[in-house]
Amino acid sequence: MADRYLRFTGTAPGRFLTRRLGLPQPAALTRWSPERPALDGGLLHLTAGRSGLDLAPVLARTGIGPAGSGRAAAVVLDATGVRDVEGLAEVHAALHPVLRPVATSGRVVLLGAPLDPADHHQAAAQQALEGFTRSLGKEIGRGRTVNLVRLTDAAAAESTLRFLLSPRSAYVSGQVIDVGAPQETTPADPDRPLTGRTALVTGAARGIGEAVAETLARDGARVVVLDVPQAGQDARRVAERLGGTALLLDMTSADAGARITEALPDGLDLLIHNAGITRDRRLVNMPAERWISVLEVNLASVLRTTDALLKDGTLRRGGRIVATASIAGIAGNAGQTNYAASKAGVVGLVRSLAPRALEEHGVTVNAVAPGFIETKMTAAVPLFIREAGRRMNSLAQGGLPADVAETTAWLAHPASGAVNGQIVRVCGQSLLGA
């Protein structure tokens, strides 16, 4: 459903009226398209503290040239060398004079260091960057985003910086992303980095799952569109359009993992757990069936099939698991105790499994946590609740399925091996939760 308020605020009368009334003034976001693959404008590279990172080669490959005297589309502040409160003053001094002219739909990315358990002054200063990032994201406005990347190796963060400094990350803001040791594999074709890889997307017959399958196929993957038999017609339609195959099965069946392995004798590179259901009702009015069905689809089936596909080697080394959590699992939501429990369970799965899966199987495990995304389901939500959902984030608008898909594609990228165990909210920096 069209966001008429967003369109209205883009007109001169709309801007005047909303400014006078103190109402949200969302800016239309610049998203990726073949005609607009990069941000419009240059990049400004700043430093606070003493940094040992050599960022120049990495930033040169992001597709954004230096800002020069023109308006910056992006600002990168290297604050990895900030070790005390005095260093935080340098953060203010660097950003204070340059933020106002940053372009609409621009990017601000702070680079921080892991917290040093042996130096509480450094840990305090680096943790301060998180509060700074989240607060700046909530005040910067005009469709601009602010994110923090913690890293020790510039090259290991290249895929993350390319994502955050591009139109692909339009609805990702206020996030803290930890990048570990280098695990990269440079794709032969940067424009189709998933060429030669097989991706299984569950719940891919429609909505967000369909958008994820479409984006992975765009990036070169052979896509297997998995959905329940009842959605067979839609699943086959999507698979045919993307040059992939449809796999019809119920993920809650005990033999789902075995059936996936049988259908993919050559193995699997990308396992995208997108399938999910809601059965909303307040706990005092929720029968056991509603509780059990949501936990079974959203969490138990994810656990079972992941275990099976790792154990039998169907998921090959260098593979990626991306599961779908939700901000409901992070912040909670009235009437969704079952759904929130299942999605919080996904967060727990990712955090626990990620280090072991990488060490034992060479596979990374991450999650996307969508907020209010414009789908047929949210279009059916009552008007006032829908409007509240759209406006209760720093970008003051709903996201699109493509926003979740682009974030998934970044986590699935061959060069994203250093990103592991992360829960990335795709919510426009929702005002609810962390």
- Please give the positions annotated as active site: 339
DSSP string of 249-306, one letter each residue: --TTSTTHHHHHHHH-TT-EEEEEE---------GGG--HHHHHHHHIIIIIHHHHHH
Question: Could you give the count of Cα atoms lying within 13 Å of 362 in the half-sphere of its Cβ?
Answer: 12
Cα→Cα distances 122→68, 76, 411, Å: 33, 20, 29
DSSP 195-226: TT-EEEEET-SSHHHHHHHHHHHHTTPEEEEE
CB 373 within 8 A of CB 325: no
Q: Which helix (H) or strand (E) holds 319?
A: strand 315-324
- Is residue 413 within 8 Å of 355, Cβ to Cβ? no
**Nearest-angstrom CA–CA distance, 164 and 144:** 11
Side-chain-side CA neighbours of 222 within 13 Å: the count stands at 9
The residue behind tokens 């995208």 is 272
Residue with tokens 């796999």: 247
What CA–CA distance (Å, rounded) separates 391 from 403?
Answer: 17
